[in-house]
Structure 1
Amino acid sequence: MFVHNIDEDLSLKLLEVKDAESLFKLTNYSREYLREWLPWLDTTTNVEDTIEFIKISLKGFSENKSLNTVILFKGDIVGVAGYNNINWANRTAYIGYWLGEGFQGNGIMTKVAKALTNYAFHDLKLNKVEIRTAVGNKKSRAIPERLNFVNEGTIRQAEWLYDCYVDHVVYGVLAEEWNEK
């Protein structure tokens, strides 16, 4: 099982089916907050939907194509983060994340994204890490900006978000840039 300790209060743990109830409760509690920027809230309506997501995530992990984890803060599940996709041919990982309502302001996601970037470069020996986020999602954009990722441009109408398309900003950092820090 994958567990990655970030500090004494914060760690990442591979999703497990036994996490489904807690993860669904967090999703449900944060539903309106998360819905502003995440397109999957309307199709996650019960714990069985969360179980299905976990099973798909575990399949991706077993095939070495992705790594989705729960974020544990002081022992409680507070969100999800990981590599939505790992492109081994191009040695690139694509980080995705969300944090439950009420857990912002503790530096959690910045530490998580930094840990995932370190892991991608030092353990997986990848060459690039990308984070893509909606142009208007200032909280999410602040994460790669804080970590000195490079704004590589905008993908127009990259995602259908309930009733409209949103543009995405692509942030990237190369192993050689990261290791210089």
Structure 2
Amino acid sequence: MFEHKIDEDVSLRLFTEDDAEEFYQFTIRSKAYLREWLGWLDYIESAEDSANNIKSRLKGMVENGGYPKSFAIIYKGKIAGTIGFNDIHKTNRIGVVGYWLGEEFQGKGIMSKAFESLINYGFKELNLNRIEVSVAVENAKSRALPERFGFTEEGTIRQAEWLYDHFVDHVIYGLLADEWLG
């Protein structure tokens, strides 16, 4: 199984089908906290839904030539969240990042470590030229990541996402390989 150890406490690893129950329970525990910014939570109703999500992630690895696209963020042996490339546009060598972290894992630097590792992976292993992040304008915590790591704010897409009962605008951030590696 692929696992990238970042430090003594934090690693990124592939999800396995054995993670379905733990991931489901973790998602349900985190639901109230995550609901403010993630619009898909109401579609997770059982461990089987989490298992199908994991199968889709593993299929994405096959479609990506054997390279994983998404990872479980592991903190002290437990799933703390997830990070990965929601989309990879092979022709243009662009990866679009998505991530979330459970509330009880906030404020420990976990996501910063995972984010930096994913950016390195995208540019060095996947040979991407550009990495994008799209995040709700008012989601300050999620916006802090690309800002901290030198992404350029490139614009705003109005009413980019429906969140349960309202639309939210998204800000788009971009980072080029030569900006990161150079």
TM-score relative to the length of structure 2 = 0.95
Deviations 1:39-71 (A, max 9, x none): 111110111111111111111111118612110
Which amino acid in the other structure matches residue 35 of structure 1? Answer: R
Paired AA for residue 175 in structure 1: A
Match of 1:3 in 2: 3
Hey, what does 1:127 align to over in structure 2? 129
For residues 91-106 of structure 1, the aligned pairs below 5 Å read: 91-106=93-108
Could you say which residue in structure 1 is the equivalent of 2:179? 177
Matched position secondary structure for 1:102? helix
- Structure 2: state its 5+ residue gaps: none
> What residue number does 1:80 align with?
82
Q: Share of identical aligned residues, percent?
A: 54
Runs of 5+ consecutive residues of structure 1 not aligned to the other structure: none
Structure 2 counterparts to residues 61-80 of structure 1, below 5 A = 61-64=61-64, 67-80=69-82
TM-score of the two chains, using structure 1 as the length reference = 0.96
Distance in 2 between residues matched to 1:113 and 1:175, nearest whole Å: 15
Displacement of 1:2 in angstroms is 2.5
How many pairs align?
180
Runs of 4+ in 1 over 4 A off after TM superposition: none
Describe the SS at the equivalent of 2:104.
coil
Provide the alpha-carbon RMSD of the alignment. Answer: 1.2
Partner of 1:51: 51
Give the aligned residue type for 2:71. T
Q: Is the counterpart of residue 12 in structure 1 residue 16 in structure 2?
A: no
Specify the code of the residue in structure 2 equivalent to 1:165. Answer: F
Partner Cα separation in structure 2 for residue 162 and residue 18 of structure 1: 30
